[in-house]
Structure 1
């Protein structure tokens, strides 16, 4: 089984010399044997063909996912557990470790082994899948680790754009022409945008992690409901406010927010291994106070989200493969125009209690790559607690400023909740 990488996947893959890796860490309470872990990994590979895939290039240097007849197991690295925060150090190590994707799968596993508590990490190349897909195979891994006879089904993999875009859209002459024209215009525009000769020097990458406890998390959710805004909008507003407070005039007042394509393209199932994403940009009105901004931003988010069209977006991108090199160069060498990427995975629907072990926590995923500004904040909610991973690089955002931004985000949450409590 094989398929050609889509435009977005090729962009994330690059030329293979620079990692673009995502990491999902989680903590289990229980005792495990390596054989059990390897068996569970083999079972999720049996379900998902692309978890067995390597990448090969054809005569035109186009990359293809290629599933070999003889499965190559997901590599497992084991280290002794020596501290609560060791998973952060190992996350950073996994960010910078290149995948040998011509010979091995685009996924690996780290076991930080303790006596009764283990931290475990799935690390995967971002061209393989997004956070939603990763949460699906994490859930399946835990299910079969607990019960090797559990049925997790078999994925019918996406074999190309034809499995995502309905035929009535994909073969429509008007839509095809529209996609081609937009693709050509975008490719021409990208060529004309001036970029620097050198990419920004990233310097040291870092990870800042924190949680809101159950009580504060629930209060925030209730507050957002009462204000008729989403938690995503509230936190985006808090992030924008924090950047403005810390960076002043140097802040861009822009946050990029990924939107799960599965909301629009129902052909993509929750357990599909797939990396394509949609994006909107959120800004605030700096002449308004925080609560006034919330309603304005919520309206803007809903308006922009309603305009998203995954089918035309994919068709446009697939018509512009010849512009990939210029587009990548623009992302790498162009000036940053947004403060950060902010992604909210929402409530993680994975059980925490199993027969053989307990899932103590899932830490929010982290991801970092070479395509421009690395500053990314990811949040998720598990067992009622909101968890935050804040990733950045000194060359884009100094660590001291990132710490100050974290503190400002936490302070904004507390201030709004205190305000509502007084009322």
Structure 2
């Protein structure tokens, strides 16, 4: 089984010399054996073909996912657990560790082994899948760890654009022409945009982590419902406000927010290993107060989201493979125009109580790569607690400013909840 990488996957893959890795850490209370872990990972590979895949290049240097005849096991690295923050150090290490994708799978497993508590990490190349897909195989992994004979089914994998875009759109002459024209115009425009000769010196990468307790998390969700805005919009507004307070006029007042393509393309199932995403950019009206701004931003988010068209977007991108080099150069060398990327995975619906162990927490995923500004904030909610991972690099956002931005986000949440409590 094999398929060509789509445009977005090729962009994330790069030339293989720079890592673009995502990490999902989680904490289990219980005792485990290496045999149980090996079996669970093997079962995951049995269900998902692309977890068995290597990447090869054809005579035109085009990369392909290719499932080996005799699949190689997912590599496991074991380190002794010394403290509660070991997973952060291991996450940073995984960001920097290249995948030898011609010889090993695009997924690794790290076991931070303790006597009663273990932290475990899935580390994967971002071209393999997104956070949603990764949460699915985390859920399946835990099922098998608890019941080795658990049935998790078999994925019917996406083999190309034809498995995502309905045939009546993909073969429509008007839609094909539209996608080709947009692709050509975009490719020409990208060539004309001036970029620097050197990429920004990234310097040291960092990870800042925090949680909101159950009470504050619950109050925030209730507040958002009362304001008729999503938690995503509220947190985007809080992030924009924090950047403005810390960076002043140097802030861009722009946050890019990924939108799950599965909302628009039902062909992509929850258990598909797939990396394609959609994006909107959110800004704040700095002349309004926070609560007024929330409603305006929510209207903007809904309007922009309603205009997203995954099918045409994919067709445009697939018509522009020859522009990939210029597009990548623009991302690496062009000036940053966004403060950060903000991603909210929402409530993670994975059980925490199992027969043989308990899942104490899932830390929000972290991701870092070479395509421009690395500043990224990811949040998720598990067992009623909102969890935040804030990644960045000194060359884009100094660590001291990132800490101040974290404090401002927390302060904004507290201020809004205190305000409504007084009312």
Structure 1: which 4+ aligned runs deviate by more than 2 Å? none
Partners in 2 of 1:309 and 1:393 — Cα distance? 32
Question: What corresponds to 1:255 in structure 2?
Answer: 255
Per-residue displacement from partner, 1:353-408 (whole Å, max 9, x unpaired)? 00000000000000000000000000000000000000000000000000000000
* Cross-structure match for 1:397: 397
Summarize the alignment of residues 366-377 of structure 1 with structure 2, pairs less than 5 Å apart: 366-377=366-377
Where do 1:23-422 residues align within 5 Å? 23-422=23-422
Alpha-carbon separation, structure 2, partners of 1:106 and 1:9:
13
C-alpha separation in 2, matches of 1:204 and 1:92 = 10
Distance in 2 between the 1:53 and 1:210 partners? 35
Does the residue aligned with 1:219 lie in a helix, a strand or coil? helix
- Structure 2: segments with no counterpart, 5+ residues: none
Which SS does the other structure have where 1:44 is aligned?
helix
* 1:352 to partner: Cα distance: 0.2
How many residues in Structure 1 have an aligned counterpart in Structure 2? Answer: 423
Q: TM-score, normalised by structure 1?
A: 1.00
Return the alpha-carbon distance in structure 2 between the equivalents of residues 356 and 75 of structure 1: 24
**What SS does the corresponding residue of 2:360 show, helix, strand or coil?**
strand
Q: CA RMSD in A?
A: 0.2
The equivalent of 2:17 in structure 1 is 17
User: Offset at 1:315?
Assistant: 0.1
C-alpha displacement at 1:330, in angstroms? 0.1
How far residue 17 of structure 1 moved from its aligned partner, in angstroms, is 0.2
SS at match of 1:245: helix
CA distance, structure 1, for counterparts of residue 71 and residue 60 of structure 2 = 26
| CA-CA distance at 1:71 after TM superposition | 1.1
Distance 2:46 2:293 in 1: 48
Please give the per-residue CA displacement for 1:247-269, whole angstroms capped at 9, x wherever unaligned: 00000000000000000000000
User: How many Å separate the matches in 2 of 1:406 and 1:190?
Assistant: 34
Partner secondary structure for residue 189 of structure 1:
helix
TM-superposed deviation, 1:318? 0.1
For residues 385 and 288 of structure 2, what CA distance do their matches in structure 1 show?
A: 30
Q: Distance in 1 between matches of 2:54 and 2:337?
A: 34
Residue-by-residue CA offset, 1:174-213 (whole Å, 9 max, x unaligned): 0000000000000000000000000000000000000000
